[in-house]
Each structure stands twice: as C-alpha cells, then as structure tokens.
Amino acid sequence: MWKPRLLLMALLAGGGVSSAQTRNYDNVQIKVTKVAGSVYMLQGAGGNIGASVGEDGIVVVDDQYAPLAEKIQAALTGITDKPVRFIINTHYHEDHVGGNEFFQKQGPIIAHDNVRKRLQQGGQAGNLGSVAFDAKPQPKAALPILTFDHDVTIHLNGEDIRALHVPNGHTDGDSVIFFPKSNVVHMGDDFVRYGFPFVDLGGGGSVKGMIAALEQIMPQLPADVKLIPGHGDISNLDDLRSYVTMLNQTWAAVEQGYRQGKTLDQLKQEKVLEPWKKWSGDFISSDAFIETIYNELTGKPGTLVKHN
Ligand SMILES: [Zn+2]
C-alpha cells in the first residue's frame, strides 16, 4: 500500500508523479526489530522489510522506496557484516520494490512472474474507482532477474526460506514468505494492520482471492508463529484470524446488498460496513472498501496480466 498522503495525490488524478519524487525521505529512520530466530524486521517508510540474517549472509524481503536504500543498507550492516545474497519482492508496488535497483547490485531479486511483468509494463493500480495510482514501467536493473510461477525455496542460514505465490490476493503476483525454522512468516500486503486492506483490482488483486489464500495458509501455521504484516507491527495468529473474519463478514454484507440490486451509492449511504467501522482508515475508508468489493462483484475489468 502507499501511505495515506499519497492517496490524495492519486485523487488529484493521474499526474504521473511517482511518490518517491515528491516525498521527502530525509527524516525517515530505519527501525530494526528482532522478530524470532534469525529473522529481523526493518521499518522506515513503505512496506515492512523482513531479513534472514546468519552465517551465509542476508536474505531480504522487500526493499521500500528507492531513496531509502542506503539507509536500509546501513541498518543491515548494523546487524551483520555479511553480504546481501538475495532479495525477494512480495509484490510489485513501489513501496515494496523501490530499492530493487540498488540491491540487485549485491544479489538477485526474486519474485513471482507477474511482479516482473507489471514492473516492466507499468499500468494503473487501484480499486477501479476512487483509489488509483500510476505504476510507471521500471528500468531493466530494477526488474527481478529470477522469477517463479508457484514457489521457490532458498536454502541459507540453516533455514528453508520459501516464497509461495498466492494467486490474486492483494495483486496477482503476491508471495508469502515462510521462515519455518525461525517460526516467522512475512505476509506481504495480503495481511496489513492499517485497517481495511487495499486490494489492487487493477493489478489483478481480489478480495475473494485474498480470503481464500489466507484461509488456506492459516491452518498450516503453528499457534505461536510470528507474522510480519505488509504494514504495521509484528502480529500473531489471532490477529490474522480476526482480519480474515472481518474480510468474510464485510464481503458478505456488501454482497447481500448487491444481490438485492442496490447501487454502490446506496450501499455507501446505508453505511453497510458500519459494524466494522473500527477498520476504516485514512487510506482505505469504509466507502473505499465498499467500492472495492462492489467493483469486484460487478466484475469491473482490470488490466489482467496473463499468467504463465
Ligand atoms: Zn502493496
């Protein structure tokens, strides 16, 4: 997701100005938190970074915005003097891949096939309504040079670090990253803590797909697993469960109105998501989430990237 203030930019309509160019990152500091085992979390601006740190080096998950790359590097150097070996992108959004060009000089970027395609092509991300962002085509040096279709495992630091593709969740190129020995999972933006999630319908995402993916993953997780959400603080399985419950309930509430023939405006006026208003945020408000579910229900066409 992008920070709330960037939503305003999006509403100012397709200026094509990337957030990295307009935002000032000078005061952003990178906070390092040990999660469990050999896994750390780095927070600055943009999506949470995961890092497996050990005898073989560092495996980085996501790399925030381009102007923060050197600060992120310095924070990693503060944990270990070992090199960055691989970087995994959980999806194609700028706040998770901005440092690609910088970090790919040290090790290959790995991502699902669709991350590379979307970074290469550019397009419009959003909920096919009031939330919209221009995703500019990225230079070759920023594109993942290793891509996969279903899953891939990196055997480093005594850990089988597995990136598993989640079809059509937050986008159509999502991966969830498992660190089984450390008992940590980086959820990408399929699980966020800023309230209702941003689901990038324009980027092949789907609320239904997000629910299905999470319902498949949850039973496989140990009760004491530590979750790195795409945005927000380290979470546990109960946090994820209540998030999925909210997704199911809000989907059902909007779907019910839709089946009764209500328009999007009526659903907003009737405040059908009022019982879940604590999830309404600056970025994705109740109205924006109603709109997301509604647009998915009506099958508004997004820009689908063909899956290999
Ligand atoms: Zn995102």
Q: What is the pTM assigned to this prediction? A: 0.92
In the reported structure, the alpha carbon of residue 161 is separated from the centroid of ligand 1 by a whole-number distance in angstroms of: 21
- Give the per-residue pLDDT at 6: 45
Predicted confidence at residue 8, as pLDDT, reads: 39
pLDDT at 3: 46
237-259 and 286-297 helices, crossing angle to 10°? 60
How far is the centre of ligand 1, averaged over its atoms, from the C-alpha of 290 (Å)? 19
pLDDT at residue number 23: 81
Sign of dihedral through CA atoms 103, 104, 105, 107?
positive
pLDDT of residue 247: 98
| Cβ atoms of residues 214 and 227 within 8 Å | no
Distance 1 CA to ligand 1 centre (A): 4
The pLDDT value recorded for residue 2 is: 47
Distance from the alpha carbon of residue 261 to the mean position of ligand 1, in angstroms: 31
283-287 long-range CB contacts below 8 Å, 24 or more apart?
283/1, 283/2, 283/3, 283/4, 283/7, 283/194, 283/195, 283/198, 284/1, 284/131, 284/194, 284/195, 284/196, 284/197, 284/198, 285/196, 286/196, 287/130
In the chain (308 residues long), the average pLDDT of successive 10-residue segments reads: 43 38 86 98 98 98 97 98 98 98 98 98 95 95 98 98 96 98 98 98 97 97 98 98 98 98 97 98 97 94 55
Residue 93 CA to ligand 1 centre (angstroms): 5
